[in-house]
Structure 1
Amino acid sequence: MDAGSTARDSIRDLEARINQDIIGQKRVVERIVIAMLANGNVLLEGLPGLAKTRAIKSLSQNLESEFSRIQFTPDLLPSDVTGGEILRQDGQFEFRKGPVFGNLVLADEINRAPPKVQSALLEAMEERHVTVAGKRYDLPPLFMVLATQNPIEQEGTYPLPEAQMDRFLMHVRIDYPSDADEVKVMRLVRAESATSGSGKEPPPKITQQVIFDARAEIDRVTTKDVVENYMVALIAATRRPAALGDKLKNWIAIGASPRGSLALDRCSRTYAWLKGRDYVTPEDVQAVVHDCLRHRVSLGYEAGADGVDADDVLDEVVKQVAVAV
């Protein structure tokens, strides 16, 4: 593979543009790009004000795409997501598309709506189409749900069903920026306010074809048997934790589903491609394993009693599972 491929250069340019808008969240931006190139959906979790929505808007502003936003509220209906049929004056029914038919769909504060509305996204996220009144409507070739949620401990939130969590390729957590980065954020917002309405032309948007070309190159990234076995071993450790000791046995209640293996494979190959390689290393797997599995591992009550979260559990799994040579 050409290390200087046009598609990769364009994707790196896209990352750089978003990082100019989102200070101190390079890892989050990289994960969003990985999920998009891997043709998956991403769930961003963090406290209010950590630029979750801003990151997604910046992606849409720099990529040739149709952006749509669904603000999830307790009174939202499933038809507000998928759309529905309306009766025209001539007595015929016409399907009016909902916001889910965009290229980049921002599902904002997804865990503030009841489960019935959350589930309205399931078919779209997995099958890439919706069915209304018995008719199927396909979604565009470039389609991605970028959902944000506040920590479930906050008031007015509904935990996402396990089936829907599993539909997200990656679950990315956003932390506070460093003090130095926060100073840069203030300066950025101040500069934006001062230059608003200046008439400065934004750079040309990156075309959707770049995304499709990048995906074609990623499909050619190779994974050796030893790395495939390593991925499966990580997944197996979450399903049979007793083999790694009583600590993990007590912490893990339910292991990752087969979607976890598929997510590791797709994201590892994408990560390797972004780094300019046409093969996957164990380090590539370790770089994405937390984002691919933290929402696919259910913890037992002893984990809570020990003050352990999913990331701590995965740290232990990675520590104990060796790469077979």
Structure 2
Amino acid sequence: MTLTTQETTQAPPPLPVAEFAHRFTAIGDSVAQDIKGKREVVNTALICLLAEGHLLVEDVPGVGKTSIARALAVALGVNWGRIQFTPDLLPSDVTGVSIFNQRNQEFQFRPGPVFSSIVLADEINRASPKTQSALLEVMEERQVTVDGVAYPVRRPFMVVATQNPVEMDGTYALPEAQIDRFTMRLTVGYPDHTAEMEVLRTQANGHRARPVHTVTDATAVGEMIAAAQRVHVGDPVYDYLVRLTAATRTVPGVRLGASPRAGIALLRVARAHAAASGRDFVTPHDVKALAVQVLAHRVLLTAEAQVGGRSGEDVVRAVLASTPVPDGR
């Protein structure tokens, strides 16, 4: 019977990179209707999702951090769940809980908001480390274990976490293990003058405009993820990736550099970046384009370096400038 199933089941044809780039542009155009003047931020968030990664957004309130998750979900045609992280939030409020059903005398699992395609962890640093750690398993293994039973989450799946880097009262620092599970970190920033005027125009009637249109579905997104994973990577690019991540560990003033998981994350986003550019192979440019967003938040500096005003971004930019770039593919 197994042989018959294998003979009759045909895998769908691979998605051409040209179609990948077309879909990528269409999704970005839709999301950009809501996230005014931030097309680069939109593209970066979309690349993170197509690389099956997770996104940490750090910025001040009011610049559209939470809007990114909602707009992406609408454009992709997938569901999304919002978790407002507060000091009294429990791990079961995130993952779900097993409840005893007296009618059938069995425990039934009620899934939490983490069982969504896009999970918005709003102000994640306001919850206790115990609650924050409830996301560790699902971010790495894409499953949640409750009472010894593993429940897989749907795909595509991405955690979009936000935090305010200015207001520190009543917050908890993210554990290093969790920081390393975020594929990318970015800031939204204030819109330019023209974009901010457009935002005000949409608010003129007292109602928030929601012009984002659904342009694809979960199946099509899965095809794009699979296509990105097939993008060719040559040995010189592999070598370049390893030398970049290793170099962050030897820079003076760095207490902890990028881990091998960081190299894997950079490889995945580089593949998605290449596919979005209409290429079926990765170049060093794809690696350099997103290296700061992938590596900087994983670089821990010594106290002396922090007092001196250095940042993880400074370290990664210095490493990019000093690491020789391979020729060819």
Aligned twin of 1:214: 224
1:300 pairs with one of 299, 302, 323: 302
Describe the SS at the equivalent of 2:199: helix
- 1:223 and 2:233 equivalent? yes
**How far off is 1:54 after superposition?**
0.9
Q: Deviations over 1:247-285 (max 9, x none)?
A: xx1x21111110111011101111011011111111111
Aligned to 2:204: 190
Q: Residues 282 and 116 (structure 1 numbering): CA distance in 2 closer, same or farther, change over 3 Å? A: same
1:204 Cα deviation after fit = 4.5
168-177 vs 74-83, which deviates more? 168-177
Secondary structure of residue in 2 paired with 1:99: coil
Distance 2:46 2:208 in 1: 30
Gaps of 5+ in 2: 1-14
Find the partner of 1:144 among 144, 158, 171: 158
Shift of 1:291: 0.8
Q: Aligned in 2, Cα 1:282/1:134: closer, same or farther, shift over 3 Å? A: same
Measure the CA separation in 2 of the matches of 1:157 and 1:52: 18
Q: Distance in 1 between matches of 2:17 and 2:122?
A: 36
Q: CA deviation at 1:300?
A: 1.1
For residues 17-74 of structure 1, give each alpha carbon's deviation from its aligned partner in whole angstroms, at most 9, with x where no partner exists: 1111111221211111011101111111111111010111111122221211110001
| Shift, 1:174, TM fit | 2.1
Deviations 1:219-249 (A, max 9, x none): 22112222211111111111122xxxxxxx1
Alignment of 1:187-266 (within 5 A): 187-190=201-204, 193=207, 203-241=213-251, 249=252, 251-266=253-268
Superposition deviation, residue 290 in structure 1: 0.7
* 1:17 pairs with 2:30: yes
Of residues 263, 278, 294, the one that matches 1:276 is: 278
Q: Which amino acid aligns with 2:116?
A: G
Post-superposition offset of 1:110: 0.5
> Does structure 1 retain, via aligned residues, the 8 Å contact 2:237–2:282?
yes
Secondary structure at the aligned position of 1:147 is classed as: strand
Distance 1:156 1:195, change over 3 A: closer
Give 1:245's aligned residue: none
Question: Residue 100 of structure 1 aligns to a residue in which SS?
Answer: coil
SS in 1 for 2:145: strand
- Asked if the contact 2:69/2:119 (under 8 Å) is kept, the reply is no
Q: Tell me which of 56, 59, 73 is aligned to 1:46.
A: 59
2:192 corresponds to which of 178, 189, 192: 178
For the residue of structure 2 that corresponds to 1:146, the secondary structure is strand
CA distance in 2, matches of 1:48, 1:195: 19
Q: Which secondary structure does the structure 2 equivalent of 1:69 belong to?
A: strand
Runs of 4+ more than 4 Å apart: 202-205
Report the AA paired with residue 32 of structure 2: N
Q: Percent identity?
A: 44
The aligned residue for residue 125 of structure 1 is: 139
- Residue 79 in 1 paired to residue 92 in 2? yes
Aligned CA-pair RMSD? 1.9
CA shift, 1:133, in A, is 1.0
In the alignment, the residues of structure 2 paired with residue 232 and residue 36 of structure 1 have an alpha-carbon distance, to the nearest angstrom, of: 23
Question: CA 1:77–1:2 in 2, change beyond 3 Å: closer, same or farther?
Answer: closer
Q: Answer yes or no: is the 8 Å Cα contact 2:81–2:116 preserved in 1.
A: yes
> Counterparts of 2:240 and 2:194 in 1: how far apart (Å)?
38
For 1:32, the equivalent position in structure 2 comes to: 45
TM-score, structure 2 normalization: 0.89
Q: Distance in 2 between matches of 1:103 and 1:195?
A: 24
Q: Distance in 1 between matches of 2:257 and 2:41?
A: 25
Q: Flag the 1:66–1:289 CA change in 2: closer, same or farther, 3 A.
A: same
Find the residue that maps to 2:203 and give its secondary structure. Answer: helix
- Is the deviation greater in 101-110 or in 213-222? 213-222
Alignment check: 8 A CA contact 2:298 2:312 kept: no
Residues 124-170 of structure 1, C-alpha deviation per residue, up to 9 Å, x if partnerless?
A: 11111111111111111221111111116532221100000111111
The answer to whether the aligner puts 1:109 opposite 2:119 as a matched pair is no
Instruction: Give the structure 1 partner of residue 318 of structure 2.
Output: 316
Distance 1:195 1:270, change over 3 A: closer
How far the C-alpha of 1:209 sits from its partner, in A, is 1.5
Query: How many correspondences in the alignment?
Result: 312
